[in-house]
Structure 1
């Protein structure tokens, strides 16, 4: 009996110490960095190089791939499996016991390790998880024109009437699976025209469309077409389909898959990325994110999104479906300032109760804007037009129209388009936690873009806007100095100063929240810009 007890004690001890952990392993360097940057076509496609050049985005060390020799050495370590990698953050996502992962620090090329279980980064009765797709129940409806309201609500029909249907734009869809896209007639319009540019499953490392249907329905709101019955918001765009969601479990490796897919999208010259996924709660509670983590800088997903934004991608994501729960806030990567985060409204433009809300822990407005998602109409894997509810569908409805808008003036950058859409929304002057800046008007945004004087009469640019602490004034190349005055909406002058290209920051942290008017005057130009102080 004593020996039996000892055996089980030892067994339990061994099982405890052999517990599997997930972690990111960050590397010290990369190989051939200067050579790769000098010859960008060795690491990027021509489309990616052209897009970066158009928006003056430099090729830098983040574009250089992870050293594959490092990945091979990690795979050769006892007990270690490598699941994903990130060139932007120069790291790999691994799984193994804590001791096996700690042993990786002995490798000369390992800089540091971040565990998914955050408690391990400081020192060496679970409730059931919410089903992130639970609200997206399906109801059949075959009435004509069911997609009409979700497009016209955003004035997306105006874009299409003007000929902006996504032609020449590339959208990446990061999701859980695309069953039926390769066979059903609802996707024949993009499929037969060879506008499905690539399919890749980052979870299983295959080129399969997958067996899950969530991505199928998401894609249909952008690229689906059933003549006389249904049209997506960007029917003439081209698409990459990437599976990053492991539907069998919830672990942080999905954030790693997602970032890796984002990097792939950037290297392929993608313009717009739609993500109808979000992350907060994991099977292992120690890995889950708290509200304090959702500051747009902490989670691996948010950090990846910030890199993607810096690289010029326009990133659109769903706000989430937890608005009625005990944790109503937006998860990650929707907390990133580089994401255009989309909430859901019903057909009458009322906020859906399930739509996750802001603000972020650092006080930023989220969601950014809203679109129809309670319900939205989609094409499913059986080629049926059905209604689905969830921010998973308000996001791609918006993403498709973003691509159409960008088609009109591709010289605009991602930041400018995102701000233009916020300013076009009906609550821009009075954002709320539930609806952010409200429902955007793509007709208004298009009119601004197509104005013949848009670039001449508005040479100055400010960022960020909305602002919390400091306004940055960006000068055009031909102007070196300007007089600036900040006014209340009633016309009272609050302060004025002179700025130049070297001194272009305006502190506003002492101002009360609200709307202000910034008047910028140079020798040849006068411009008034609306500023929202949070």
Structure 2
């Protein structure tokens, strides 16, 4: 018996002799050059999204120094698995000794092992089993059987007003999109050029239409279309498809792939990220998260998701399917501070018992909101319309609906979108651990958003437009001391003007000719618009 145990331990240790870690760097030496040339790191659409929301560029947008990547890649015994400019880090794999040797490099600021017992600060290890992230499948628009999951959210009322996601882009982060390129429910997307591309971060290839069926079902909740059977919640949005989940194993490198894909989504100008993935337990229990770490900004993917939100992206994640397990709480990245974690309800709006619950360890409301996740109507890889259970489907149902809502009020910021959706939910004033803020009403959210954007032109005005040398700004007396920000079409802030009077004339002759965007808070409402300088 002792020999058997020793042999098992030897095999176990050999199996995990290669460690995973994040190597963090001390700076970005080329930051000034990149910030002076924004199109070298972000597309024009990404810059426009930043400008529209008044978000300035910063060092997080700057890529990792290539010399750092090259030196780490050339280091003995090190394999680079992923990179993150937002966190200025590389995900590496190697022996503990080879990884620790990287600290001798002058630009390495710290190393964080996925095996928390190897870090300076000791953390309790969760030895629970990995969560099954892939759901079991059960085998006006004419919604057919998909009507309930849209009507529950009053999403059909937005569709009737022709708010179907036009002009917005969703990035879907998942395990694979098998047969999406050939299955009938997705052909409308291809016919209308709504699939913009994608990438497989697991295999480092552009092949996203193989590997796994999970992303196929997820995408169908938003973009699928079979008249009389299935209509997705954002049938006219555009989509990028990213594979970040390795179905063969559970390893924290998947969090690094997730962040890498989110950064690419930001670069491409995506508006919404949705991910039906969640991380808590890993194959190597030393890598697993604990409930005490669910504080909103500890896990690598949660930190990346929070940064995505600061870039003006609405980030949506399924809450998880662990509600009936020993670890019933919302996992990574749904637990992140600025991520909308979506729980699941049944067709009658009662709680689906598998749906992960809150609160977060630090007491925040999680999940945030709910959608149908039991008997959700989806497409499988053969194009058949079936039902499936899981927050994997309540998440994208909600993501598509949020995208359609945002297409109705495109001038909202990501933060405003999230707030209007939460405020429309049926438990907003009395959130619970199972439902969070509850089930949103998107018609109510739209009504509230449109009312908030209604202004009296006699109270607020900027003129003339186009402008030559001066502009005159008229604001309510109570808005005196507000600040007006001007941005160029690269998203760079070019002027910041403190308004000290209710009627003020400002000289702008120093501005070059072109299109500028302005942002002003007046009467507790955000006002945004465009100016043309002649």
| TM bin (shorter chain) | 0.7 to 0.9
Q: Which residue of 2 aligns with 1:64?
A: 62
The superposition leaves residues 506-529 of structure 1 with CA deviations (integer Å, 9 ceiling, x where unpaired) of xxxxxxxxxxxxxxxxxx9699xx
CA contact (8 A) 1:17 1:97 kept: no
Q: Aligned in 2, Cα 1:56/1:227: closer, same or farther, shift over 3 Å?
A: same
Question: How many equivalent residue pairs?
Answer: 462
Q: In structure 2, how many angstroms separate the alpha carbons of the residues matched to 1:29 and 1:307? A: 17
Q: Which residue of 1 aligns with 2:187?
A: 188
Q: Which residue of 2 aligns with 1:314?
A: 314
For residues 275-354 of structure 1, the aligned pairs below 5 Å read 275-354=275-354
- TM-score (structure 2 length as normaliser): 0.82
Q: Which residue of 1 aligns with 2:119?
A: 121
For residues 57-456 of structure 1, the aligned pairs below 5 Å read 57-122=55-120, 128-133=129-134, 136-140=135-139, 145-209=144-208, 210-451=210-451, 454=454
CA contact (8 A) 1:349 1:372 kept: yes
How far apart are 1:478 and its partner, in Å?
6.6
Q: In structure 2, how many angstroms separate the alpha carbons of the residues matched to 1:440 and 1:326? A: 29
How far apart are 1:138 and its partner, in Å?
2.0
**Counterpart secondary structure, 2:27:** coil
CA contact (8 A) 1:171 1:240 kept: yes
CA contact (8 A) 2:143 2:231 kept: no
How far apart are 1:129 and its partner, in Å?
3.1
Q: In structure 2, how many angstroms separate the alpha carbons of the residues matched to 1:261 and 1:93? A: 14
The superposition leaves residues 379-421 of structure 1 with CA deviations (integer Å, 9 ceiling, x where unpaired) of 1110000000000000100100111111111111111111111
How far apart are 1:17 and its partner, in Å?
12
How far apart are 1:59 and its partner, in Å?
1.2
Q: Which moved more, 1:427-436 or 1:71-80?
A: 71-80
CA contact (8 A) 1:448 1:454 kept: no
Q: Aligned in 2, Cα 1:501/1:362: closer, same or farther, shift over 3 Å?
A: farther
CA contact (8 A) 2:318 2:391 kept: yes
The superposition leaves residues 90-121 of structure 1 with CA deviations (integer Å, 9 ceiling, x where unpaired) of 10000000000000111122111011111211
Q: In structure 1, how many angstroms separate the alpha carbons of the residues matched to 2:421 and 2:54? A: 22
Q: In structure 1, how many angstroms separate the alpha carbons of the residues matched to 2:50 and 2:326? A: 42
Q: In structure 2, how many angstroms separate the alpha carbons of the residues matched to 1:278 and 1:243? A: 14
Q: Which residue of 2 aligns with 1:46?
A: 44
How far apart are 1:229 and its partner, in Å?
2.3
The superposition leaves residues 359-390 of structure 1 with CA deviations (integer Å, 9 ceiling, x where unpaired) of 01111101111000012000111000000000
How far apart are 1:68 and its partner, in Å?
2.0
Q: In structure 2, how many angstroms separate the alpha carbons of the residues matched to 1:335 and 1:159? A: 29
**Counterpart secondary structure, 1:93:** strand
How far apart are 1:220 and its partner, in Å?
0.3
Q: In structure 1, how many angstroms separate the alpha carbons of the residues matched to 2:247 and 2:376? A: 23
The superposition leaves residues 481-510 of structure 1 with CA deviations (integer Å, 9 ceiling, x where unpaired) of 79xxxxxxxxxxxxxxxxx999xxxxxxxx
CA contact (8 A) 2:132 2:321 kept: no
How far apart are 1:337 and its partner, in Å?
1.5
CA contact (8 A) 1:18 1:98 kept: no
Q: In structure 1, how many angstroms separate the alpha carbons of the residues matched to 2:359 and 2:212? A: 32
How far apart are 1:130 and its partner, in Å?
3.6
**Counterpart secondary structure, 1:154:** coil
Q: In structure 2, how many angstroms separate the alpha carbons of the residues matched to 1:333 and 1:182? A: 28
The superposition leaves residues 328-355 of structure 1 with CA deviations (integer Å, 9 ceiling, x where unpaired) of 1100111111101100000000010000
CA RMSD in angstroms, aligned pairs only: 2.9
CA contact (8 A) 1:17 1:98 kept: no
How far apart are 1:137 and its partner, in Å?
2.0
Q: In structure 2, how many angstroms separate the alpha carbons of the residues matched to 1:431 and 1:17? A: 44
Q: Which residue of 2 aligns with 1:468?
A: none
How far apart are 1:57 and its partner, in Å?
0.7
Q: Aligned in 2, Cα 1:201/1:16: closer, same or farther, shift over 3 Å?
A: closer
The superposition leaves residues 125-171 of structure 1 with CA deviations (integer Å, 9 ceiling, x where unpaired) of 966434222xx22223xx97111000000000011001100111100
**What is the aligned counterpart of 1:37 among 29, 35, 38?**
35
Q: Aligned in 2, Cα 1:284/1:501: closer, same or farther, shift over 3 Å?
A: farther
Alignment gaps of 5+ in structure 2: 460-474, 483-497, 501-521, 526-534
**Counterpart secondary structure, 1:434:** coil
CA contact (8 A) 2:35 2:62 kept: yes
Q: Aligned in 2, Cα 1:404/1:111: closer, same or farther, shift over 3 Å?
A: same
Alignment gaps of 5+ in structure 1: 460-474, 483-499, 503-523, 528-534
User: Whose RCO is larger (CA < 8 A, sep 6+)?
Assistant: 2
Q: In structure 2, how many angstroms separate the alpha carbons of the residues matched to 1:170 and 1:392? A: 19
